[in-house]
Structure 1
C-alpha cells in the first residue's frame, strides 16, 4: 500500500451549550441529561451560521500548517453524514476557486456515518496508489438538523456536536501520522437492531464484527491490539469506552477521554481530532502505534492503524 501521512488538521465547532439546554428545548428528559453527565458529557455545539462560511478559515489553517501551496492539491474529498449528494455543493467549488485549487479531483462520501473518516482515508490511499495523486485534501462537516434527527444518541451514549474539519493526506510528507492500514467490516444485517430493545443480539453482532475487523488489522500489520500505545475511540460515555477497551483486551488507561467532556460526539471526526490533540499535547511520540476504531450506524466497523511520525 502506498504510504500516506495525515497532517495539518484544523477544526471549527458551533456555539457551545450546556446539556441542560436539551431539557429546556424539550429534546430529552432530565434523566437522560443526568445519564449523559454520569458518562462524562458536559456540553455540545450547534452551528448558528452555515458551516460553509467557515470552510475558508479551516482550509487556510491546514494549508498554513502543512506549508502546501493550494495549487498542489490533487484531490478534494468531502465527507459528511448530514449533507447528502442531493445538496447543492457549489460552495465547495467556490472554495476551491477562491484558493486557486484547480484541476483537483472532487469527490463526495456520505454513507459511512461515524466511520466516514476511515472510509475517506481508504479512498485517499486508493487515489494515491492508483491515480498517482500526491496531496488529497479532506473536508468533513456535519450540522445536525434538530427538527429531523435526535441530537442525543440512543441509550444516552453521547450527544452530537456540529463540527467542521479539514486535513491533508499526502504521500510527499513524512510527518504527522502514517496511515499504516485501514480495515472495514460491513454487517448490514445489524442495521435493524436496537442497542436496548435487541440487547443480546446487538452485543453478539457488535462483538463479532469488532473482533473480525481488528483481527483483519492484526493479520495485516502483525500487531496485536495490546501492542498499541493508544486506543482512539469516538467521544461516547466512559462506560461505553470501557466496553470497547475490555472487548479488545486493551487497558482503559490507554483510551484518551478528554474529548468526551470538552467536545461531545463530533460525528466522524472524533478520532482525527483526538490524534491531533494527543500529538499537540506531547502525549504520543515518534514511532507510537495508535489504534482507531469506528462504528457507523451499528453496521459498518473500521479499525485503522496509525504510526506517529515527528518531523
Structure 2
C-alpha cells in the first residue's frame, strides 16, 4: 500500500480557442509541411488579454464545481506552471488564489516545466504524510505560451497549446488513487530548449537577435556536435527512460506491471507517441495518441486534460491502472500511477 492514501475526487479543464493547424501553420513557420507531418489537427490559443491565472482559475472552478466543494474547504493550493511567467518575481499560485477568492490558504508554485504536475503528486503525498490537518488539495496545471518568447510551432517537435487543468485531491479517497511517482533526471541536458534571453544571465538580447530568432533545436544538436554517436545513443534513451520510470513506479507501488491499462503521455507528435508506446509495451490505442492530436501540447497540463476527457467519456474502468508519464525540460523523465 502507498504510505498515504489519497485520490482524485474531480477534474476540470480549460482550453484556449481551437485553431486548425493546417490553416494557421503558414503564419508560424516557413515550412508548414514539416509541422503537418507531426500529426496534429488542432491546437488552442487563448484570446488576447487572458492571463495564466485566468486560465488556471477557469479549470479550477470546474473541478471544484464537480466536486461540490467550496473554496474554503481547500487546505492547500498547488500550481504547476510550464511556460514563461506573466511577470518576473511574481507568483502565479497566489494569482490563481486571488482569482478563486482564497484568503489565507497556503499555496505552492512548481515550475519544473512539463514534469511539474505529474511529479506534484509525490510532493502532495508528502504533505498528506506530515500534515494531519490537510485533507483536501487543489492541484492546478497551466500552460500558456508566451508568443513573445517562443514560436509555438518551432520550439520543439510539438505544436504548443494554451490550456489548464485542475484536480481536487482528497485524503482517503478511493477513486483514481495515487500509487507511486518516479522521476529520472539527466543534468547534462539542462540547457536544452531554454529561453535564451530575459533572465538574469542574459536580460537583454543582442541587437538584431531575440528569443524568436534563437533556434532552440539547433542548440540541442550543438550539444552533441563532437560526438554524433552520443547523440544517437541519447535519442534511443529518450523512450527507454520513459519505460524505466514507468517500471520504477510500479516497483515502488508493489503493483504488478501487467496491470497497466493506459498510458497518458505528453501530447507529443505521432512518431514519438508510436515509439513511446512500443517502449512501454502498450498498444497505441491504449495511449493518448489520437486525443493529443486534437488538443496540442499543453505543457504540464497534458496528462490531467487527457485524464479529464477519459473520465468524462467513461473510458476508464474500476481497477484500471493509469500511468501519467512524460519528458520535460531539465531533462526530466517522470511517471505517476493512479488506480481507477
TM-score by length of 2: 0.79
Alignment of 1:1-311 (within 5 A): 1-36=3-38, 39=39, 41-48=40-47, 49-51=49-51, 52-84=53-85, 86-87=89-90, 89=92, 91-96=95-100, 98=101, 101-110=102-111, 112-132=112-132, 133-152=134-153, 157-175=157-175, 177-192=176-191, 197=221, 198=224, 199-223=231-255, 225-297=257-329, 299-308=331-340
Deviations 1:229-280 (A, max 9, x none): 1111111122211111111222223223232222111111121122222222
- List runs of 5+ in structure 2 lacking aligned partners: 193-216, 225-230
Query: 1:71–1:244: structure 2 CA closer, same or farther, 3 Å change rule?
Result: same
Deviations 1:195-244 (A, max 9, x none): 98454032244245334323322321334544311111111122211111
Cα RMSD for the two superposed structures: 2.5
From the superposition, tell whether residues 154 and 91 of structure 1 become closer, same or farther in structure 2 (CA, over 3 Å). Answer: closer
CA contact (8 A) 1:44 1:161 kept: yes
C-alpha deviation, 1:147, in angstroms: 2.2
User: What does the per-residue CA deviation read over 1:159-185, in whole Å, with 9 as the maximum and x for residues that have no partner?
Assistant: 01101222211114333x111111111
Give the TM-score of the pair, scaled to structure 1.
0.86
- Over 3 Å counting, the alpha-carbon distance change for 1:27 and 1:153 in structure 2 is closer
| SS of corresponding position for 1:229 | strand
The answer as to whether partners of 1:226 and 1:250 remain within 8 angstroms in 2 is no
Tell whether the 8 Å contact from 2:246 to 2:323 is kept in structure 1 after alignment.
Answer: no
Q: Which moved more, 1:253-262 or 1:286-295?
A: 253-262
Larger mean CA deviation between 218-227 and 63-72 belongs to 218-227
| Inter-CA distance 26–275: structure 2 relative to 1 (3 Å threshold) | closer
Aligned mates of 1:30, 1:103 — CA distance in 2: 48
How big is each residue's C-alpha offset from its partner over 1:17-46, in whole Å with a ceiling of 9 and x where there is no partner?
Answer: 21145444243422223313xx2x112111
Determine the structure 1 residue equivalent to 2:228: none
Moved more, 15-24 or 270-279: 15-24
Partners of 1:293 and 1:24 in 2: how far apart? 31
Is the CA contact (8 Å cut-off) linking 2:321 and 2:339 kept in structure 1?
yes
Per the alignment, in what secondary structure is the counterpart of residue 86 of structure 1?
Answer: coil
Count of matched residue positions in the alignment of Structure 1 and Structure 2: 299
Q: Find the aligned partners of 2:114 and 2:11 in 1 and give their Cα distance.
A: 18
User: Where do 5+ consecutive residues of structure 1 fail to align?
Assistant: none
Measure the CA separation in 2 of the matches of 1:12 and 1:93.
17
2:160 alignment partner, SS class:
coil
Q: Which moved more, 1:117-126 or 1:204-213?
A: 204-213
